[in-house]
Structure 1
Amino acid sequence: MTYPEFIPSVETMTVAQVEDILPLLKNRIQPLLLKGAVEHWAIVEAGRQGQLSNYLSQFDSGKPGVVFRMDKKHEGRVFYNENFSGFNFARDQALLVDALKLLESHPLDGSGYYVGSSSIPYYFPGLTEKLDLGVGAIEPLISLWFGNKTRIAAHFDLPDNLACVVAGRRRFTLFPPEQVSNLYVGPLDFTPAGQAISLVDFYHPDPVQFPNYDQALNSALVANMEAGDVLFVPSMWWHQVEGLDKVNMLINFWWRATPAWSGLPQDAISLALLSIGSLPKAQREAWGHIFQHFVVNREQATAHIPPGKRGILTDLNAQSAVQLMAGLMSRLQKFLT
C-alpha cells in the first residue's frame, strides 16, 4: 500500500514540560504535533522494552473488554462487510492484558487485531496517576487504544483530543470539518464503532464512486507519530488513524469546551432529519439558511435585539437549558400519544 506522500505535515513543536501544553491549546482550531512530550512516562519506557503487558498487569481490574479481529484479506481496515449488512470483523471478549500479551508474542499472520476506546479508570485503575499531562484542570476522559497494523477510517469526534502514542508508530491523516461532503460519509446510525466514518478506502480510492475525494486530500494534513509524541486533534476534525507496527498503543485525553447540560450536537441532526429531512428540497435549503443565521451566526443574528429580550438565542445556563429541554420534550411527546 502506498501513502499519498504529497500531504503536508501538521505543525510540529516541542515543549519543555507538560505544564506548557494546555496554554498552547487555548483557542486553537488547528492540529498540533508535540514531539516527545510524554517520552518520560513509565509506560512509554515499558513499550520500548517490550514490557507493556507486564507494566499494565499491576493496574489490571480483571474486567474483560472488547477485541476486534479481522481476516488478513482486509489489510487491517476496520470497516463494513461487502453488502453493508454488518462488519468485516468479529467481536470477542478478553482481558485486555491477555489481548496485549497475544500481540506481543504472536505476529498473527497479518490478521487485524484492535482494541478501541477503553476507559483507563475502568480497566486500569491507578494508571491515571502515572499519566502526567498537565491537563487535570479540564477533567478529561482518558482512554486506551491498542492493536497491530490496523486502519480506522476517517471520522470526527465532538471533544478536543490529545492523542499520546506510548508504543509503536501511528499515522494520523486529518481533514478540516468543511471537507465532510468530500469524504463520502456512511450511515449515521449504523457504524463500526460509534462514529460515522468515511467510506473511501484511503489506499484504494475509487475515483468513480468518490469523485471529489481528491479535494479532501488537497486539504489534508498528516502526523507521523512515534512513542512519546502527542497530537492535538481539534473538535470536529476528521481523522484517519493507522497503526504501523506489530504492537502499537495510544492513550488519549478527551474534553469538551461546553458543559454536559448543553447536550450532544449530534442529537440536533437526528431531530432535524425528523422534522426537516422529508421536506421538499427548496424548503430544506430555506431551513439551512435559517439554521445558519440563528445557530452558526447567533451573535450577528441577535446583535439588534435588546440583551434582556433574546430568549433562547442568548447564552444558556444549566437552568435555562433544562427549561428548553423540557419544552422540547413536551412537544415531541405529543407525537407519541
Structure 2
Amino acid sequence: MQPMNEVAGLTRERFEREVAAGYEPVVMRGVAAHWPLVAHGRAGLETCLQYLMGFDQGTPVDAVLAKPEPTRAFGYKPALDGFNFLLDKRPYAALFEQLWRYSHFPDPPALAAQSALVSQALPGLAQANALPLLDGSIAPRIWIGNRATVPAHFDDSHNIACVAAGRRRFTLLPPQCAPLLYLGPPDYAPTAAPMSVVPDLHTADRTRFPLVGEALDQAVVAELEPGDAIYIPPLWFHQVDSLAPHLNILMNYWWRPMAAPQRPDDLHMAALRLAMLALRHLPDGEREGWRAMFAHYVFGARGDQLAHIPEGQRHLFGEVDAARDAEVRKDLADRLKP
C-alpha cells in the first residue's frame, strides 16, 4: 500500500482542473474545517448530537445494526446466504439515544444511519455547512454511526466525502483490481453498490482469499480527521473504516455529468448488467469476439479511428443530443420487452 496523494488550499477552479480531471483519488486536507458541524464534532458526542437535533424533523432514516464481531463490517454472511446486519427505519432521536447508550459499552454493536439525503433528514444542515468545491445543486448525504467497516465496493459516480466527526480510514484500489477482490454478484449486495465478500481487506484470511495481498499492493490509503475530505473517482474500489469508537460522521456528494443536454448520465450499471445477461450463454470463442467489439465500439473508436466517417454522419460514434438519446433509449426498451 502507498499513501494517498494530498492537496491543501483548493479552490473550486483548482479542484475541477487538477483533481476531478485526473481520475486519481486525492485527500483534500481542511476543506471542511470551517463547518460548524466539524466544530461540534470536535467538542464531543453529546454536543454534536445536540447540534444535529436542531435540524431534525423526525423523518425516519435507514439504520443498520451488526454484532460486534472482530471486523465490525456491514457485509455478507459467511455463507453468502444473506447479510450480517439488521436494517430498519428509525428517527434520528432514537438513533442518537442508542449511540449515546452504546458509548458506555466496552464493545457495542456496530450501528449507523447511512446515506440519508440531508435535505430530507436534516433540512438546513447542508446550507449551514456548505462545500465550496461543488455547485450548490449537488445534494449531500450524511452517514452517522460508531466504529464500523464498509467492505470494498465501487460507485459509478464522482464522490467527495467529508469527515465531520471522528476519524475514517479510506483504502482505495483502481478498477483493474476487480478480479482480485472476490466481488459478490452485482444484483445481490448489502448496498446498492457491488461489494466484495471480504469483510476487511487488511485482516483477510489469505488462505481463503489469497489474491487480496496482490490487490493491496496496488492500494492507496489515507486516514482523515474532521474537516478533511477525499475525492473518489468513479469505479475506484474503496473500503471505509470508521475508526472513532463512539461517533463518526461523514457528509458525501455524488454527481455525474450530463450525458446529453437535459439527459441524465445514468446507464452505466444497467449496461453492465444487460451485457452480463446478453453474453453469458455464448461459447468462449464468441465471447472473446464480443470482447473485441466492446473494445472498439465502446472504448476505442474515437479521434483518428473515425476519420473515415464525416462528422455529420457518425451517429452513435458522434455527439448525441437529447432527442437522439431518447430515441436510442426507447429502441432499447422496446427490444427488452418480452
> Shared fold (TM-score greater than 0.5)?
yes
Distance apart, 1:219 and its partner CA: 0.7
Superposition pairs of residues 173-188 of structure 1, within 5 angstroms: 173-188=171-186
Aligned residue number for residue 239 of structure 1:
238
Structure 2 gap ranges (5+):
none
* CA distances 1:69-96 after superposition (whole Å, capped 9, x unpaired): 1111253111112322211111132112
Provide the secondary structure at the position in 2 that maps to 1:305: coil
C-alpha distance 196-93 of structure 1, shift in aligned 2 (>3 A): same
Q: 1:272 aligns with which of 272, 275, 279?
A: 275
Structure 1 gap ranges (5+):
1-6
Aligned residue number for residue 39 of structure 2:
45
- Report the identity percentage: 32
Provide the secondary structure at the position in 1 that maps to 2:141: strand
C-alpha distance 182-308 of structure 1, shift in aligned 2 (>3 A): same
Q: 1:319 and 2:304 equivalent?
A: no
C-alpha distance 138-292 of structure 1, shift in aligned 2 (>3 A): farther
2:203 and 2:231 mapped to 1: Cα distance?
A: 27
C-alpha distance 136-79 of structure 1, shift in aligned 2 (>3 A): closer
> Which stretch shifts more, 40-49 or 135-144?
135-144
1:209 and 1:304 mapped to 2: Cα distance?
A: 51
> Which stretch shifts more, 120-129 or 310-319?
310-319
Distance apart, 1:237 and its partner CA: 0.7
* CA distances 1:179-237 after superposition (whole Å, capped 9, x unpaired): 11111111111111111111223233233433322221111000100011011111111
Provide the secondary structure at the position in 1 that maps to 2:172: strand
C-alpha distance 112-129 of structure 1, shift in aligned 2 (>3 A): same
2:335 and 2:241 mapped to 1: Cα distance?
A: 45
Provide the secondary structure at the position in 2 that maps to 1:263: coil
What one-letter code is carried by the residue in structure 1 that aligns with 2:298?
Answer: V
Aligned residue number for residue 91 of structure 1:
87
Q: 1:156 and 2:159 equivalent?
A: no
TM-score for both structures, normalised by structure 1:
0.91
TM-score for both structures, normalised by structure 2:
0.91
Aligned residue number for residue 125 of structure 1:
123
1:275 and 1:63 mapped to 2: Cα distance?
A: 41
Aligned residue number for residue 3 of structure 1:
none
Work out the number of aligned pairs and report it: 328
Provide the secondary structure at the position in 1 that maps to 2:2: coil
1:80 and 1:155 mapped to 2: Cα distance?
A: 12
Provide the secondary structure at the position in 1 that maps to 2:56: coil
- Contact conserved, 1:17 with 1:37, CA < 8 A, in 2? no
1:228 and 1:175 mapped to 2: Cα distance?
A: 23
Q: RMSD of the alignment, in Å?
A: 1.9
C-alpha distance 138-110 of structure 1, shift in aligned 2 (>3 A): same
1:26 and 1:79 mapped to 2: Cα distance?
A: 29
Q: 1:36 and 2:39 equivalent?
A: no
- Contact conserved, 1:21 with 1:134, CA < 8 A, in 2? no
2:280 and 2:90 mapped to 1: Cα distance?
A: 41
2:250 and 2:72 mapped to 1: Cα distance?
A: 17
- Contact conserved, 2:11 with 2:133, CA < 8 A, in 1? no
1:290 and 1:278 mapped to 2: Cα distance?
A: 17
